[in-house]
């Protein structure tokens, strides 16, 4: 793999509302602590290096960290709000340390540092360390809830937030859901899938496409596991599920696209379908012959009337059995795979065909932009990201680092548009993760006992790795019916989860979570404790760190006045102070100006 | 032949709706009522009627739901699905003996294709009883169509004369077509169009179209909006009801923040939904609380989300007079029907839930004295293949569906029974049924019963006039 990340699009740092702070303002911010995964950068900043290139309106994509040491304080490249806004698109939180690091190193260099950061602990390793992979007499090997605990532990703890944020976005594109997975070790199955997305999030799309195709959890979810070749005598046909969904959802989509993501039309003005049923029936043959790999499994007796396998089959790739693989010729999308082509070769040819299809770049690019930045990117923005997918600048196609960089440093991402349609609805998983991490969430006993939060009446209406189907929690083309959004032909995918009950369920859950946490999982408000007696400062702190200053003055005034209705001074009781802190966080977390991330 | 009426309809509706939305404004004083304009004169309803769409997400396997039972057709079915010797279960075929208790007996004699007789899945015992007592009907081989279609027309190339529904066999698109007669991205469904006509019949027009199952395009009309209810009723936002963290000021500020209008369209829509939620919560719960049904929705102590949803729908119907409702359209659903694998294990469990839930719902309407005023019907993404892929079936097209209620001409089959074959001309390969009845015809039949007049039916369902009849006859 090439590692040469060339950002081809100019990325001026512009907002319509703010100017970059001067260097002396930086000293007023919280002193950097080397406690985050950007320690190297923070060290750079505190030693006074890296001030080069930091003029206002400079490009985010350049290399600003190459100048020699000097005693001058680093010149921040962006305002705090600009840096926070970038961080809240690229990951979950915007702490003071992270804001400082971004302002000092620049967007692109900061991203590079994140791309190079190692994975700290995998989901599978956490399950193992927590004892959830050693069979017990409670039948833990059948229990999927450890998969929920694993997912939340991964999202709420550890470093490598950018990796995890984009892995979450990938999990909503290459969807596998824990919900239908049953049998032995469902938690390990979903953990290995999550770990795969994390491990390959900064790799190449083509490799990822192959890895997910052969992943055991995906094999279960979309039925490649146990998929058998045709049988003329009985009329049995290969299962078509994976062949259909890898085309419709994981690579090319239904209609031919232009590079900018718009739908191509034929002479009659109709969309052009990318494939027909016979393409699916043919491609289905490629995905026959696979099953879970039990070769490394040991059987353990004494738990059930039958042996319990060890969980090795849940990771790696599925096993291939040539005897169960269709040897028929495959003709799909204009590619012909001759009869009797070995299974691995057939798979390679098929995946190459999908990977190299002109749709794949724009199809993937637009949805990733929607996940991270905005529901309604301009065609030009989609085209710039799709171009980076097609060629990272070093003639490599499918370089995911180039895709993330193109999305996050694009002028359209970095410009705070002063219009009435910008941004997207933060999805509930991201809201909870952001707030929990911002307030130093911890577990009192290490269990992270957060169950499936999919119930919209009582919880989030969304839970990581728990999509109700392969079509994700929401569709990229979702338009809320009979709304002004529909009138203006605007997409709003996350609104598919928003209705009269889910809006109440979310606010109720946050009311409880902010104050009491969830099971063993609790917030720590020490970061804002000292602001309890200063409502204005408290609201300012929350506005910057949770919304990148996207609350209007009217809103911050309203919140401040509401908080001041119950006076709190430094001598006030702890409970009075904390009531104010809880209230302040809730008012922000429930506020539409926060929920719509511009 | 001019086929693409959908586009005209969409454009006309678009212009109307643009007006409706701006009229409503975002800061409308109370979200209890929707904009009162409609594309056509609303019907005057003095009685009560409700339609309930029971959507089976994933594509229901029709062949193991309504199963060939006479020996000749059963043997064909068993042969295709890998049944065992002596008509025992095998492959993905059900055993014939297990079907005896659920064999369907028509009220009046009917001769179907190849003299086929049907039984229901052994799990559908109550549904079979409802059929045999005339309270349920089976609509055979129904699916999305834009025009009547033969196999030759399907395989031919004249897409101008013989257009196909977009994106056949694709889950999300076929769900959308069933609900809204167009592929994903459609923003108005035929339940919502009926709701448009019913808005003025209801004291609280926001309670015309109600989902107990998440956002469904089926319920969105030009003016009608989906209102979401949970199995336990409306959900209060506790912190916005007077005190939050020991502060009434905080509670008041919260209420204001989450409901106030905004020039930003996404923020505004977010708040509009929350405002509706809060405006209706106490009204709905006050009406629901006294409604206690003696009908059990839980006969086996197993989890059944469809039963939970239909129970709250029944309770809402029980509260119809308090809420001033005369015409309502409901949407409920059950997922998991995409049985590519494990058909034998999973499909019966799903049908058992359908059976428990739909029977309890019917019995509840009897208890409430409205069994002839409430009609439920099943829908699904698509039927599946008759052919097996080993232990499941793949995406298909047409399927068989149920219509249940006291106003149903039950105990009868409607439509044309398909041959049990992988090669006949009523399927497009692997037993994917080429529908002989369109969703539009089903919708038209239900709409007429609901009170929609003929001209409005043609407006709501612009393609229905291409089919032999807009009245399939299954409603009294």
Residue with tokens 């919304």: A547
Helix (H) or strand (E) holding B53: strand B49-56
Beta bridge partners of A66: none
Q: Determine whether the interchain pair B247/A492 forms a contact, defined as Cβ–Cβ distance below 8 Å.
A: no
Contacts 24+ apart (CB under 8 A), A462-465: A462/A427, A462/A428, A462/A429, A462/A497, A463/A148, A463/A151, A463/A429, A464/A148, A464/A151, A464/A152, A464/A155, A464/A168, A464/A171, A464/A429, A465/A147, A465/A151, A465/A171, A465/A176, A465/A177, A465/A178, A465/A190, A465/A193, A465/A194
pLDDT reported for residue A335: 98
Residues A249/A363, Cβ–Cβ less than 8 Å: no
Q: Is A18 helix (H, G, I), strand (E, B) or coil?
A: coil
Over 50: is that where the pLDDT of A416 sits?
A: yes
pLDDT reported for residue A15: 35
How many distinct helices (H) and strands (E) make up chain B?
A: 13, 11
- Specify burial of residue A322 (Cβ count, 10 A radius: 0-12, 13-18, 19+): exposed
pLDDT reported for residue A201: 98
Phi/psi of residue B75, nearest 5 degrees: -65, -40
Q: Model pTM?
A: 0.89
Beta bridge partners of B435: none
State percent of chain A over pLDDT 70.
88
Rg (CA), chain A: 25
Residues 456-475 of B with CB under 8 A from A: none
pLDDT reported for residue A38: 33
Pairing between strand B118-120 and B66-68?
antiparallel
B192 at A interface, C-beta within 8 A:
yes
Question: DSSP string spanning A113-171?
Answer: HHHHSPP---HHHHHHHTTTTS--TT-GGG-THHHHHHHHHHHHSSS-HHHHHHHHHHH
Going by pLDDT thresholds of 50, 70 and 90, the confidence category of residue A45 is: very low
Q: Is B244 helix (H, G, I), strand (E, B) or coil?
A: strand
Instruction: At A250, list the tokens.
Output: 């994981």
A153: distance to nearest CA of chain B, Å? 28
A579 to chain B: nearest residue by CA?
B245
CB-CB neighbors (< 8 A) of B207 in chain A: none
Nearest to A321 by CA among A344, A338, A305, A354: A344
Length of chain B in residues, anyone?
476
The tens digit of pLDDT for each residue in A542-590 reads 999 999 999 999 999 999 999 999 999 999 999 999 999 999 999 999 9
CB-CB neighbors (< 8 A) of A515 in chain B: 245
CB-CB neighbors (< 8 A) of A559 in chain B: 253, 257
User: Which of A484, A505, A593 has its CB closest to that of B21?
Assistant: A484
The tens digit of pLDDT for each residue in A92-138 reads 999 999 999 999 999 999 999 999 999 999 999 999 999 999 999 99
Distance, in Å, from the CA atom of A74 to the CA atom of B10, rounded to the nearest integer, reads 57
Q: Determine whether the interchain pair A240/B269 forms a contact, defined as Cβ–Cβ distance below 8 Å.
A: no
DSSP state of A40: H
Half-sphere exposure at residue B410, Cβ-oriented, CA atoms within 13 angstroms: 22
How many distinct helices (H) and strands (E) make up chain A?
A: 26, 10
Q: Determine whether the interchain pair B273/A457 forms a contact, defined as Cβ–Cβ distance below 8 Å.
A: no
Distance, in Å, from the CA atom of B430 to the CA atom of A169, rounded to the nearest integer, reads 36
Distance, in Å, from the CA atom of A203 to the CA atom of A206, rounded to the nearest integer, reads 9
pLDDT reported for residue A336: 98
Residues A370/A474, Cβ–Cβ less than 8 Å: no
Q: Determine whether the interchain pair A244/B226 forms a contact, defined as Cβ–Cβ distance below 8 Å.
A: no
Rg (CA), chain B: 23
B250 at A interface, C-beta within 8 A:
yes
The tens digit of pLDDT for each residue in A435-452 reads 999 999 999 999 999 999
Residues A355/A251, Cβ–Cβ less than 8 Å: yes
Residues 6+ apart with CB under 8 A from A69: A47, A48, A49
CB-CB neighbors (< 8 A) of A225 in chain B: 341
Residue with tokens 């991270």: A372
Question: DSSP string spanning B165-202?
Answer: -TTTT-HHHHHHHHHHSSSTT----HHHHHHHHHGGGS
Instruction: At B436, list the tokens.
Output: 């002989």
Phi/psi of residue A549, nearest 5 degrees: 60, 35
**Helix, strand, coil proportions of chain B in percent (round to 5)?**
40, 15, 45
Going by pLDDT thresholds of 50, 70 and 90, the confidence category of residue A345 is: very high
CB-CB neighbors (< 8 A) of B238 in chain A: 508, 511
Please give, one letter per residue, the 3-state secondary structure of A406-463: HHHHCHHHHCECCCCCCCEECCHHHHHHHHHHHCCCEECCCCCCCCCCCCCCCCCCCC
Instruction: At A58, list the tokens.
Output: 């400079």
Give the N- to C-terminal CA distance of chain A in Å, as an integer: 34
Distance, in Å, from the CA atom of B328 to the CA atom of B48, rounded to the nearest integer, reads 8
Distance, in Å, from the CA atom of A428 to the CA atom of A513, rounded to the nearest integer, reads 13
Over 80: is that where the pLDDT of A73 sits?
A: no
DSSP state of B206: G
Residues 274-303 of B with CB under 8 A from A: 274, 276-277, 280-281
Instruction: At A211, list the tokens.
Output: 């890895």
Residues 376-395 of B with CB under 8 A from A: 385, 387-392, 394-395
Beta bridge partners of A331: A336
Residues 70-89 of B with CB under 8 A from A: 80, 82
Which of A286-290, A461-465, B5-9 is predicted least confidently? B5-9
| Interface mutation target, options B171, B216, B257, B261, chain A, most CBs of A under 10 Å | B257
Please give, one letter per residue, the 3-state secondary structure of A262-329: CECECCCCCECECCCHHHHHHHHHHHCCEECCCCCCCEECCCCCCCEECHHHHCCCCEECHHHCCCCC
Going by pLDDT thresholds of 50, 70 and 90, the confidence category of residue A456 is: very high
Q: Determine whether the interchain pair B238/A511 forms a contact, defined as Cβ–Cβ distance below 8 Å.
A: yes
Length of chain A in residues, anyone?
598
Question: DSSP string spanning A95-117?
Answer: -HHHHHHHHHH-HHHHHHHHHHS
Q: Determine whether the interchain pair B392/A486 forms a contact, defined as Cβ–Cβ distance below 8 Å.
A: no
Q: Determine whether the interchain pair A505/B265 forms a contact, defined as Cβ–Cβ distance below 8 Å.
A: no
Pairing between strand A319-320 and A330-332?
unpaired
A583 to chain B: nearest residue by CA?
B245
Per-residue CA distances from B10 to A286, B6, B223, B386, B391 (Å): 41, 6, 14, 36, 42
pLDDT reported for residue A31: 36
- In 10 A of CB B113, how many CB atoms? 16
Distance, in Å, from the CA atom of A327 to the CA atom of A342, rounded to the nearest integer, reads 8
CA dihedral B9, B10, B15, B16 (to 10 degrees): 60
Residues 6+ apart with CB under 8 A from B79: none
Residues 6+ apart with CB under 8 A from B37: B16, B19, B20, B23, B223
CB-CB neighbors (< 8 A) of B171 in chain A: 469-471
Distance, in Å, from the CA atom of A562 to the CA atom of B462, rounded to the nearest integer, reads 54
Helix (H) or strand (E) holding B21: helix B5-24
Over 60: is that where the pLDDT of A458 sits?
A: yes
Residues of chain B with pLDDT under 70: 1-32, 35-43
Cα B379 to the center of its chain, rounded Å: 5
Residues 6+ apart with CB under 8 A from A371: A168, A169, A172, A173
Q: Is B137 helix (H, G, I), strand (E, B) or coil?
A: strand
Q: Determine whether the interchain pair A500/B245 forms a contact, defined as Cβ–Cβ distance below 8 Å.
A: no
State percent of chain A over pLDDT 90.
84
pLDDT reported for residue A52: 33
Question: DSSP string spanning B303-366?
Answer: --HHHHHHHHHHHHHHTHHHHT-SEEEEEEEE-----SS-HHHHHHHHHHHHHHHHHHHHHHHH
| Interface mutation target, options B212, B233, B266, chain A, most CBs of A under 10 Å | B266
Q: Determine whether the interchain pair A587/B263 forms a contact, defined as Cβ–Cβ distance below 8 Å.
A: no
Distance, in Å, from the CA atom of A128 to the CA atom of A135, rounded to the nearest integer, reads 11
User: Which of B219, B246, B422 has its CB closest to that of A566?
Assistant: B246
Half-sphere exposure at residue B313, Cβ-oriented, CA atoms within 13 angstroms: 37
- Specify burial of residue A574 (Cβ count, 10 A radius: 0-12, 13-18, 19+): exposed
């Amino acid at each position: 793999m090439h590692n040469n990340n060339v950002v081809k699009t100019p990325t001026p740092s512009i907002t319509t509302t703010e100017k970059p702070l001067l260097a002396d303002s930086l000293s007023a911010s919280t002193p950097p602590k080397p406690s985050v995964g950007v320690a190297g950068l923070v060290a750079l900043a505190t030693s006074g290096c890296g001030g080069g290139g930091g003029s206002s309106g400079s490009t985010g994509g350049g290399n600003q960290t190459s100048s020699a040491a000097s005693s001058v304080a680093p010149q921040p490249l962006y305002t705090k709000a600009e840096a926070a806004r970038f961080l809240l698109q690229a990951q979950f939180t915007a702490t003071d340390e992270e804001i400082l690091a971004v302002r000092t190193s620049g967007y692109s260099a900061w991203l590079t540092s994140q791309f190079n950061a190692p994975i700290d602990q995998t989901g599978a390793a956490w399950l193992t360390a927590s004892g959830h992979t050693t069979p017990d007499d409670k039948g833990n090997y059948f229990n999927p809830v450890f998969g929920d605990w694993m997912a939340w532990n991964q999202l709420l703890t550890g470093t490598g937030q950018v990796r995890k944020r984009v892995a979450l976005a990938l999990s909503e594109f290459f969807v596998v859901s824990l919900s239908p997975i049953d049998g032995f070790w469902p938690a390990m199955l979903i953990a290995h899938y999550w770990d795969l997305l994390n491990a390959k999030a900064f790799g190449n799309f083509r490799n990822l496409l192959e890895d997910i195709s052969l992943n055991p959890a995906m094999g279960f979810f979309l039925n490649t596991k146990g998929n058998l070749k045709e049988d003329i005598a009985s009329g049995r046909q290969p299962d078509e599920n994976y062949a259909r969904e890898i085309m419709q959802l994981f690579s090319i989509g239904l209609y031919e696209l232009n590079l900018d993501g718009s739908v191509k039309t034929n002479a009659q003005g109709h969309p052009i379908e990318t494939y027909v049923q016979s393409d699916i029936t043919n491609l289905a043959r490629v995905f026959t012959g696979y099953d879970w790999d039990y070769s490394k499994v040991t059987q353990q007796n004494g738990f059930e009337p039958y042996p319990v396998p060890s969980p090795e089959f849940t990771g790696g790739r599925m096993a291939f059995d040539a005897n169960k693989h269709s040897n028929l010729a495959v003709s799909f999308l204009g590619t012909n795979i001759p009869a009797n082509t070995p299974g691995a070769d057939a798979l390679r040819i098929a995946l190459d065909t999908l990977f190299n299809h002109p749709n794949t770049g724009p199809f993937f690019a637009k949805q990733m932009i929607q996940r991270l930045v905005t529901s309604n990117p301009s065609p030009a923005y989609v085209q710039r990201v799709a171009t980076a997918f097609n060629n990272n600048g070093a003639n490599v196609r499918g370089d995911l680092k180039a895709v993330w960089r193109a999305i996050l440093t694009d002028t359209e991402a970095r410009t705070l548009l002063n219009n009435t349609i910008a941004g997207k609805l933060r999805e509930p998983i991201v809201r909870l993760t952001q707030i929990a991490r911002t307030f130093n969430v911890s577990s009192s006993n290490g269990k992270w006992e957060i169950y499936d939060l999919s119930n919209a009446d009582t919880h989030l209406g969304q839970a990581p790795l728990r999509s109700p189907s392969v079509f994700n929690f929401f569709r990229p083309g979702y338009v809320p019916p009979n709304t002004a959004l529909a009138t203006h032909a605007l997409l709003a995918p996350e609104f598919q989860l928003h209705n009269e009950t889910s809006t109440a369920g979310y606010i109720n859950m946050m009311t409880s979570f902010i104050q009491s946490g969830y099971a063993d999982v609790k917030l720590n408000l020490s970061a804002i404790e000292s602001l309890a007696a200063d409502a204005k400062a408290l609201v300012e702190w929350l506005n910057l760190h949770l919304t990148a200053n996207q609350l209007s003055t009217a809103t911050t005034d309203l919140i401040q006045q509401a908080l001041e209705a119950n006076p709190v001074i430094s001598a006030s009781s702890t409970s009075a102070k904390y009531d104010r802190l809880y209230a302040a966080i809730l008012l922000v977390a429930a506020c539409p100006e926060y929920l719509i991330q511009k | 032949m001019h086929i693409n009426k959908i586009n005209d309809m969409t454009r006309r509706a678009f212009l109307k709706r643009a007006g409706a939305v701006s009229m409503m404004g975002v800061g409308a004083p109370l979200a209890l009522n929707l904009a009162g304009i409609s594309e056509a004169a609303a019907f005057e309803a003095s009685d009560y009627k409700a339609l309930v769409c029971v959507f089976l997400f994933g594509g229901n396997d029709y062949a193991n739901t309504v199963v060939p039972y006479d020996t000749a057709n059963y043997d064909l079915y068993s042969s295709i699905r890998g049944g065992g010797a002596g008509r025992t279960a095998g492959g993905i075929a059900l055993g014939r003996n297990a079907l005896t208790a659920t064999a369907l007996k028509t009220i009046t004699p009917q001769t179907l294709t190849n003299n086929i007789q049907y039984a229901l899945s052994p799990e559908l015992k109550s549904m079979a009883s409802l059929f045999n007592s005339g309270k349920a009907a089976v609509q055979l081989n129904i699916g999305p169509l834009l025009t009547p279609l033969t196999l030759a027309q399907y395989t031919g190339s004249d897409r101008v004369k013989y257009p196909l529904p977009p994106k056949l066999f694709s889950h999300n698109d076929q769900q959308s077509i069933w609900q809204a007669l167009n592929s994903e991205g459609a923003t108005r469904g035929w339940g919502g169009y009926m709701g448009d006509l019913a808005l003025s019949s209801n004291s609280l027009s926001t309670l015309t179209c109600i989902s107990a199952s998440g956002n469904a395009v089926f319920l969105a009309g030009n003016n009608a909006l989906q209102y979401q209810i949970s199995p336990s009723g409306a959900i209060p936002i506790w912190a916005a009801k007077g005190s939050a963290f020991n502060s009434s000021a905080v509670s008041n500020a919260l209420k204001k923040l989450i409901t106030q209008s905004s020039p930003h369209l996404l923020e505004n829509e977010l708040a509009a939904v929350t405002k509706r939620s809060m405006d209706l919560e106490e009204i709905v719960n006050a009406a629901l609380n006294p409604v206690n049904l003696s009908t059990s929705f839980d006969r086996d102590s197993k989890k059944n989300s469809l039963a939970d949803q239909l129970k709250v729908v029944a309770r809402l119907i029980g509260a119809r007079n308090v809420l001033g409702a005369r015409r309502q359209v409901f949407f409920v659903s059950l997922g998991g029907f995409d049985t590519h694998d494990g058909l034998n294990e999973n499909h019966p469990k799903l049908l058992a839930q359908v059976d428990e839930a739909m029977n309890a719902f019917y019995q509840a309407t009897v208890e409430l004295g409205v069994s002839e005023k409430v009609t439920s019907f099943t829908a699904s993404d698509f039927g599946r293949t008759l052919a097996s892929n080993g232990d499941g079936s793949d995406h298909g097209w047409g399927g068989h569906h149920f219509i249940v209620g006291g106003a149903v001409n039950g105990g009868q089959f409607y439509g044309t029974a398909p041959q049990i074959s992988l090669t006949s001309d009523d399927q497009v390969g692997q037993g994917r049924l080429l529908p002989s009845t369109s969703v539009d015809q089903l919708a038209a039949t239900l709409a007429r019963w609901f009170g929609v007049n003929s001209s409005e039916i043609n407006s709501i369902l612009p393609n229905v006039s291409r089919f032999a009849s807009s009245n399939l006859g299954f409603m009294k």
